[in-house]
């Protein structure tokens, strides 16, 4: 009986629903064995995280196991560097394959012998058409294929030629081994697909032992069956390859006892889900590699790259990426995910995790005229508003302090509640201050704001119940430390890079901005790998590669709430339109 409402009602995704039904019917003896099969030709990206979380998640949920198998069938593009990076990234993400680390190349000998068995069954032949000819003969969805002139070679001749292919008697590309299926199939994938090609290239594991290599469709199903994978999960573009997956294994099951190679035991089944597509980014490994080799970014670990290593270095946590991978769901619907969903996941995680600190990104000096010269004090500031148990810290306060340039407007637009002439604001955890006058340079740009403070408001509250609308973060000038900051914007400036032109033309030229900010003294002693929320400016992470002891370099992981970002933008727009060029000049001419 089928009951379509069942999976949804139980909160299962469609693959979990299949697995639960399989377990009920004791298919695969109730086992759940999945695999994550990366090709080691690049570093893992955020899309892979979805597949990793799904495959390893199923293994864990159903008490089964998950293999890590490198699909290393193309020695031209694969390297040990990638094999190592991929393992690091999966471990960091929080998953463990235990002893189940495999390589498709572990099975090269068996795959070859299966090729011989298929030839003996009349199910494979050596074809001497060139690559172009093979494509031309294959036709397409609208055009039927036509038989290769080599399709009827005798079994003996095929066997001899396949052995000679292995022995290196032919030039690269001279022949292929093809599966003899059906050139008239409505599914072009089934039109006698090649399963072996001649390619003289040194393999990162098997070195020069082979000059013929199996193709993905052939190698993948065999690897799954040899490892007794039960549920082989891949992305939707392989849907039309499933009949081929099944066909190969069906033939191999008929290998007679006593043959030089035994039939594989596993009975895996392929299931397809839709891949993650995230806007403002590219996920093709070819394109990511191009960004690296042509130095558009500093490497695979550039904090702007949506590789797992880039995200980690930027300050994304493994927890947030796992939460993201789960939140996007597992379906067969092809759709785009907004970058905001990823940013929301890290914000949510860091909001709880990151202690607060004050750091002024673009400083504007404030002098508090009625604060005694030469005097200094410390005020207590909360470390985490949601975690009172983290207590408070002592932050130095004095006559001269820095606030953000954008937190002051000499001629404020409507709705601007931050510092402005004659108005009072709260300095977080310290005092109310009121702007008395401004000091300008020869060009008329504001270089300093003169204020008064109300000593009775210590701690940031007024005893007479007076309210202020704006609360600013600040840093005392005398004790401020210089803070190296990197702000990132999206690497691409359009939602779908490369849609109608070279994707490199869609790179955002302003994706990286470096600043020297002013921070409270404790920031100097932060260690690499530490997170903070810098009040009102975002979540920051001390870069593990570039930070030095006593000199952290801070990556902005993500800005604060979207609503805050919108409020900021609204202010800027209001300034630009209501006040005209004069005010814009203040914004840009203030001393950096």
List the catalytic residues: 39, 275, 285
- Region of 16-24, 197-205, 246-254, 277-285 interacting with ligand ATP (CB under 6 A): 277-285
The size of the chain, in residues, is: 592
Least distance between ligand ATP and beta carbon 550 (Å)? 40
Query: Which of residues 285 and 486 has its CB atom nearest to ligand ATP in the complex?
Result: 285
Contact flag: residue 475 with ligand ATP (CB under 6 A): no
Q: Which of 118, 183, 234, 255 binds ligand ATP (CB under 6 A)?
A: 234
Query: Which of residues 37 and 412 has its CB atom nearest to ligand ATP in the complex?
Result: 37
CA separation for the pair 572, 168 (Å, rounded): 69
Q: Phi and psi at residue 386, in whole multiples of 5°?
A: -95, -10
Q: Which of 284, 370, 516, 527 binds ligand ATP (CB under 6 A)?
A: 284
Least distance between ligand ATP and beta carbon 311 (Å)? 14
**Residues 9 to 38 in contact with ligand ATP, rule: CB under 6 A:** 37-38
Structure token digits, residue 414:
């409507």
Query: Which of residues 283 and 447 has its CB atom nearest to ligand ATP in the complex?
Result: 283
Contact flag: residue 221 with ligand ATP (CB under 6 A): no
Least distance between ligand ATP and beta carbon 115 (Å)? 23
471-472 vs 424-427, strand pairing mode:
parallel
Query: Which of residues 82 and 196 has its CB atom nearest to ligand ATP in the complex?
Result: 82
Query: Which of residues 37 and 266 has its CB atom nearest to ligand ATP in the complex?
Result: 37
Least distance between ligand ATP and beta carbon 156 (Å)? 37
Strand, coil or helix: what is 290?
A: helix
CA separation for the pair 318, 131 (Å, rounded): 43
Element (H or E) spanning 50, and its range? helix 46-61
- Smallest CA-to-CA distance from 218 within 113, 140, 312 is with 113
Q: Are 198 and 165 in contact (CB under 8 A)?
A: yes
Contact flag: residue 276 with ligand ATP (CB under 6 A): yes
What mask, x for binding ligand ATP by CB under 6 A, covers residues 256 to 275? -------------------x
Query: Which of residues 85 and 485 has its CB atom nearest to ligand ATP in the complex?
Result: 85
Least distance between ligand ATP and beta carbon 522 (Å)? 40
Residue number, nearest CB to ligand ATP: 47
CA separation for the pair 325, 317 (Å, rounded): 13
What mask, x for binding ligand ATP by CB under 6 A, covers residues 35 to 54? --xxx-------xx-xx---
Contact flag: residue 497 with ligand ATP (CB under 6 A): no
Contact flag: residue 231 with ligand ATP (CB under 6 A): no
Query: Which of residues 218 and 540 has its CB atom nearest to ligand ATP in the complex?
Result: 218
Query: Which of residues 47 and 538 has its CB atom nearest to ligand ATP in the complex?
Result: 47
Least distance between ligand ATP and beta carbon 37 (Å)? 5
Query: Which of residues 276 and 517 has its CB atom nearest to ligand ATP in the complex?
Result: 276
Q: Are 306 and 278 in contact (CB under 8 A)?
A: yes
Contact flag: residue 235 with ligand ATP (CB under 6 A): yes
Q: Phi and psi at residue 45, in whole multiples of 5°?
A: -120, 180
Q: Are 71 and 104 in contact (CB under 8 A)?
A: yes
Contact flag: residue 283 with ligand ATP (CB under 6 A): yes
CA separation for the pair 135, 133 (Å, rounded): 5
- Smallest CA-to-CA distance from 198 within 186, 180, 210 is with 210
Question: Distance between the two ends of the chain, CA-based, in angstroms?
Answer: 71
CA separation for the pair 132, 173 (Å, rounded): 11
Structure token digits, residue 134:
């093979």
Least distance between ligand ATP and beta carbon 48 (Å)? 5
Q: State the sign of the Cα–Cα–Cα–Cα dihedral 161, 166, 167, 171.
A: positive
CA separation for the pair 190, 473 (Å, rounded): 65
Q: Which residues contact 512 (CB under 8 A, 6 or more apart)?
A: 304, 486, 487, 488, 489
- Smallest CA-to-CA distance from 534 within 479, 484, 568 is with 484
For 439, counting Cβ atoms within 10 Å of its Cβ (0-12 exposed, 13-18 middle, 19+ buried), the class is exposed
Least distance between ligand ATP and beta carbon 559 (Å)? 25
- Region of 121-129, 188-196, 276-284, 383-391 interacting with ligand ATP (CB under 6 A): 276-284
CA separation for the pair 250, 248 (Å, rounded): 5
Least distance between ligand ATP and beta carbon 274 (Å)? 8
Q: Phi and psi at residue 559, in whole multiples of 5°?
A: -75, 175
Cα-based distances in Å from 265 to 112, 251, 322: 17, 13, 33
| Total residues interacting with ligand ATP, rule: CB under 6 A | 14
- Region of 281-289, 350-358, 365-373, 558-566 interacting with ligand ATP (CB under 6 A): 281-289
Contact positions toward ligand ATP, by CB under 6 A?
37-39, 47-48, 50-51, 234-235, 275-276, 283-285
């Amino acid at each position: 009986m089928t009951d379509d409402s069942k999976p949804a009602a139980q909160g299962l995704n469609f693959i979990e629903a299949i697995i639960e039904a399989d377990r009920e019917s004791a298919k695969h003896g109730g086992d759940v064995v999945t695999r994550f099969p990366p090709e080691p030709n690049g570093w893992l990206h955020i899309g892979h995280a979805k597949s990793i979380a799904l495959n390893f998640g199923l293994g864990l949920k159903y008490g089964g196991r998950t293999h890590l198998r490198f699909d290393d069938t193309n020695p031209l593009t694969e390297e040990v560097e990638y094999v190592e990076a991929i393992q690091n990234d999966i471990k960091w993400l929080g998953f463990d394959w235990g002893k189940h680390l495999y390589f498709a190349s572990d099975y090269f000998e068996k795959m070859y012998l299966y090729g011989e068995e298929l030839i003996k069954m009349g199910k494979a032949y050596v074809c001497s058409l060139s690559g172009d000819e093979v494509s031309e003969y294959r036709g397409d969805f609208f055009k039927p294929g036509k038989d290769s002139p080599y399709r009827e070679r005798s079994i003996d001749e095929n066997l001899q030629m396949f052995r000679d292919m292995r022995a290196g008697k032919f030039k690269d590309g001279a022949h292929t081994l093809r599966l003899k299926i059906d050139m008239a199939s409505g599914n072009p994938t089934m039109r006698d697909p090649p399963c072996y090609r001649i390619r003289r290239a040194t393999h990162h594991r098997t070195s020069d032992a082979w000059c013929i290599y199996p193709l993905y469709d052939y190698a993948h199903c065999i690897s799954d069956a040899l490892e007794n994978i039960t549920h082989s999960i891949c992305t939707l573009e392989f849907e039309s390859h499933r009949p081929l997956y099944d066909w190969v294994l069906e033939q191999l099951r008929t290998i007679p006892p006593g043959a030089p190679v035994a039939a594989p035991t596993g009975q895996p089944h392929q299931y397809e889900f839709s891949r993650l597509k995230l806007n403002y980014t590219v996920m093709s490994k070819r394109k990511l590699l191009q960004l690296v080799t042509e130095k558009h970014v500093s490497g695979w670990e550039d904090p702007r790259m949506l590789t797992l290593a880039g995200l980690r270095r930027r300050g994304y946590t493994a927890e947030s990426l796992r939460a993201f991978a789960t939140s996007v769901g597992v379906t067969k619907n092809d759709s785009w995910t907004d970058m905001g969903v990823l940013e929301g996941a890290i914000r949510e995680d860091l909001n709880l995790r990151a202690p607060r600190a004050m750091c002024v990104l673009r400083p504007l000096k404030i002098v508090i005229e009625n604060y005694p010269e030469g005097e200094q004090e410390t005020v207590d500031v909360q470390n985490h508003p949601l975690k009172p148990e983290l207590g408070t810290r002592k932050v130095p306060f004095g006559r001269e302090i820095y606030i953000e340039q954008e937190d002051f407007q000499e001629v404020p637009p409507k709705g601007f509640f931050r510092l402005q002439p004659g108005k009072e604001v709260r300095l977080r955890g310290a005092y109310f201050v009121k702007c008395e006058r401004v000091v300008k340079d020869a060009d008329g740009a504001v270089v300093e704001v003169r204020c008064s403070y109300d000593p009775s408001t210590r701690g940031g509250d007024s005893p007479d119940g007076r309210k202020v609308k704006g609360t600013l973060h600040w840093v005392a000038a005398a004790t401020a430390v210089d803070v190296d900051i990197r702000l990132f914007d999206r690497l691409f400036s359009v939602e779908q890079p490369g849609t109608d032109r070279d994707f490199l033309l869609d790179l955002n030229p302003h994706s990286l901005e470096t600043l020297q900010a002013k921070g409270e003294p404790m920031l100097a002693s932060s260690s690499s790998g530490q997170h903070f929320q810098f009040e009102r400016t975002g979540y920051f992470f001390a870069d593990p590669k570039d930070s030095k002891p006593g000199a952290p370099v801070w990556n902005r992981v993500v800005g604060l709430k979207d609503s805050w970002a919108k409020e900021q933008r609204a202010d800027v727009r209001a300034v630009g339109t209501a006040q005209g060029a004069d005010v814009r000049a203040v914004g840009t001419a203030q001393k950096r």
